[in-house]
Structure 1
Amino acid sequence: MKKHQLSLIVLAGGLGSRFGGNKQIAEIPGQNCTIMELSIIDAHAAGVTQVVLIINQAVRSEIERTILPRLPSDLDLVLVEQNIEQVPEQFKATLCHRVKPWGTGHALLCAKAHINNPAIVITADDYYGASSFLLLSEHFKKSAEWAMVGYPIVDTLSEHGGVNRGVCNIANGKLVAVTEYLNIQQQSEHIFGDNPQGLREKVSPNALGSMSFWGITPCLFDYLEQGFTAFLAQYNTATQQEYFLPNQIEQVIKTNAQTVFIYTARESWYGVTYKAELVNIAAHLRALRQV
C-alpha cells in the first residue's frame, strides 16, 4: 500500500431515503458535477493525494462512468463498497434482519485496509468550503493529533424548519463533547433547540456545530473495530440502530485516549437532504466559486 501524506475519505454509502434517490451522485444544477466532486477538488488543492470513496453497490457503475473521469488524473482513487455483510463472523446470523447500512462509524471502518496515514473524513452530500481542507492540511503538518472543523450554528440553520445539530463543547481549543440538539430554529432574536432531555433552551449563535468534517489518524480504526463489536453485541436484534462515527470519537475523548483539536470554519456549510434544496445550493455555490 502506497504511503500518502494526506488522504480524503468520503462517506457516500447512504441510501438517501428522504432525497428520493442516491443524492451522492446528484449533479448540482448548471455545474455538471456533484458536491462530492467539489470537495475532492478542494481537498486535492490542499495537498490530498489519495481519495477513498465509501459507496453502496448501486452507484458504483455511475461513479466509474461519469465522476471518476472528471477528477484530477494524479489522484490515487479507491472505491470501497459498504454493505451489511461486513460484520465479525459471530454476528453473521443477525444479517437476515438488517436492511439499511450500519451507519457512519461502520462506513469509515470499511476504509481501514487503504489508510496508513492522516486523513480527512467528510460526507459526500455536504459542501464544506475550500478553506476547511486547508485548515486540516496545515494541522497535520504540525500535529499527529486528531482534529475537526466546526461550523457556527447560526450559519447552518434552515429557512424551511428546524434542524438537528451536534453542538460542540470546547475547552482550550479542544473538543470535549458533542451534544445533540433537535429542532434548532431562529426564534425572534435568539436560537432555540431541544436538548437531550427534551427541554427547549437557547443555543449560543457562536456555538460550533459538528458537521462531520474530521481529521483522523489510522489508530481510529482500532477504536472503531472494538466499538463496532460492542455495538453489535448490544443491538444485534435492533435492526434500525446505527453505529455513528461522532459517538465513537466522543467515547475515545472521554477515556483520554486521544485529543481532538477544533478549528472554526471560515466559510459557510451547505448540506442536501431534499432534492429541491439542490437548486438553492447551486446558486450559493456559483457565487462562492464564481462558476
Structure 2
Amino acid sequence: MNTTTKKHALSLVVLAGGLGSRFGGNKQIAEISGLGCTIMELSIADAVAAGVTQVVLIINQAVRSEIEQTILPRLAANIDVVLIEQHTNLVPKQFEQLAQQREKPWGTGHALLCAKDVINNPAIVITADDYYGASSFKLLSEHFKHQGNWAMVGYPIIDTLSGEGGVNRGVCQVENNQLLRIVEYLNIQQQAGQIMGDNPAGVREGIAKDALGSMSFWGVTPSFFQYLEQGFTAFLQQYDTAVKMEYYLPDQIQRAISTKQQAVSIYRAQESWYGVTYKSEFVSVAATLYKLRH
C-alpha cells in the first residue's frame, strides 16, 4: 500500500465508515458471490479505468484488519491507497467533551473532512455500498478535464427505491444543468402509482417521477474542505450529541450553492444505480452485479 499524498490528476474518496445499522453488519466488506470482491472494489476498478490514481478509504476501526488483509491485496498495484479511520473524537478541541458522549460516527460530512490532509486535487466522492456504473466515473473525470467547479451525478429517484421498505434520498432541483438545491426526503416509497416521501417539515408529499436523486456521487476540489470545517464547527455548536444528529455532506454542498460561492454541475446517470440498505437486498443486488460484470 502506497500512502503518499502527491499531486494526482484525480482522486477517489470512498466513504466506508458507516456502521450499517439497518443492514445488520459491515456491508462495506460483504463479498459478491461469484465475483470474489466487494461493491467497493467494483467502484474502485471503474474509477481507476476513468483516470483515478489515488484512492482514499474512510473506514471504521472494526474493519481495518480485514480491509488490509483481504481487500487491499486485490486492488490495482499502480494506485496510491490511503486508509483513514473515522473516529468520533476527531473534532475541534473545544468540542472534545461532546465527542466523548458520541457513539455513532458524525456522518458523511465529517467522514469526508477526515480526508482533508491527503486530497490535493479534484476528487470523486462515493459511498462504499453503492454501485454507480462505470460511465458515472467517466462523466466526472471528463468534467474535471474541462471545468474547475464541483459536480455530481444524479440518478432517477424511481430507479433507486427499495421493495424492502422506505428509503431516504436527497431530491435534486435542477436548472440549466446546474444543481440549485437538494431537499432531503425520508421514507420514500411508491404508493398507489405515486412516489411519496416525508419532506423536511415531516409532511408526506408527492415527488416528481422524473426527479433526480443524489446517491452521494460527488466531484469536489480541495477548496471544499474549508466549507466542511466551517460547517462542522457550526454543527457542533448547534446540536447536542444526545439528539444523535448527523453532519450531512449534501448540506454543506447546499450551503456553498446558496451563498453563491460555488456552482455545481449535475449530470444525469447513464446507468442504473444499485445499493444495499437492508440485508435482505444484498443477495439480489449481488446477483445483478454478477450478471453485469460477466
TM range, normalised to the smaller chain? over 0.9
In terms of mean alpha carbon deviation, does 132-141 or 236-245 score higher? Answer: 236-245
For the residues of structure 2 that align with 1:232 and 1:34, how far apart are their CA atoms?
34
Residue in 2 that maps onto 1:180:
184
Matched, 1:13 2:17: yes
Residue in 2 that maps onto 1:251:
255
Matched, 1:165 2:169: yes
For the residues of structure 1 that align with 2:60 and 2:256, how far apart are their CA atoms?
28
Matched, 1:286 2:290: yes
Residue in 2 that maps onto 1:140:
144
For the residues of structure 2 that align with 1:152 and 1:21, how far apart are their CA atoms?
28
For the residues of structure 1 that align with 2:75 and 2:241, how far apart are their CA atoms?
41
CA deviations on 1:52-96 (whole Å, 9 max, x unpaired) are 000111111100000000000001000011101111111112222
TM-score by length of 2: 0.95
Q: What letter corresponds to residue 287 of structure 1 in structure 2?
A: K
CA deviations on 1:97-120 (whole Å, 9 max, x unpaired) are 111111110100000110010000
Matched, 1:269 2:278: no
Residue in 2 that maps onto 1:198:
202
Matched, 1:86 2:90: yes
Matched, 1:121 2:122: no
Matched, 1:232 2:275: no
Alpha-carbon distance, 1:286 to partner: 1.9
For the residues of structure 2 that align with 1:182 and 1:241, how far apart are their CA atoms?
15
For the residues of structure 2 that align with 1:130 and 1:29, how far apart are their CA atoms?
20
Q: What letter corresponds to residue 33 of structure 2 in structure 1?
A: P
TM-score by length of 1: 0.96
Alpha-carbon distance, 1:201 to partner: 2.6
| Aligned positions of 1:204-223 closer than 5 A | 204-223=208-227
Taking only the aligned residue pairs, the percentage that are identical comes to 70
Alpha-carbon distance, 1:30 to partner: 2.2
Q: What letter corresponds to residue 151 of structure 1 in structure 2?
A: Y
CA deviations on 1:207-236 (whole Å, 9 max, x unpaired) are 100000000000000111111111111114
For the residues of structure 2 that align with 1:84 and 1:193, how far apart are their CA atoms?
31
1:77 to 59, 78, 81: 81
For the residues of structure 2 that align with 1:80 and 1:160, how far apart are their CA atoms?
32
Paired residue total: 290
CA deviations on 1:110-159 (whole Å, 9 max, x unpaired) are 00110010000000011101100000000000000000000001111122
Residue in 1 that maps onto 2:57:
53
CA RMSD, Structure 1 to Structure 2 (Å): 1.2
Instruction: Give ranges in structure 2 of 5+ residues lacking alignment.
Output: none
Alpha-carbon distance, 1:284 to partner: 1.1
In terms of mean alpha carbon deviation, does 88-97 or 183-192 score higher? Answer: 183-192
For the residues of structure 2 that align with 1:187 and 1:152, how far apart are their CA atoms?
17
Q: What letter corresponds to residue 47 of structure 1 in structure 2?
A: G
Residue in 2 that maps onto 1:241:
245
Alpha-carbon distance, 1:258 to partner: 0.4
For the residues of structure 2 that align with 1:198 and 1:232, how far apart are their CA atoms?
23
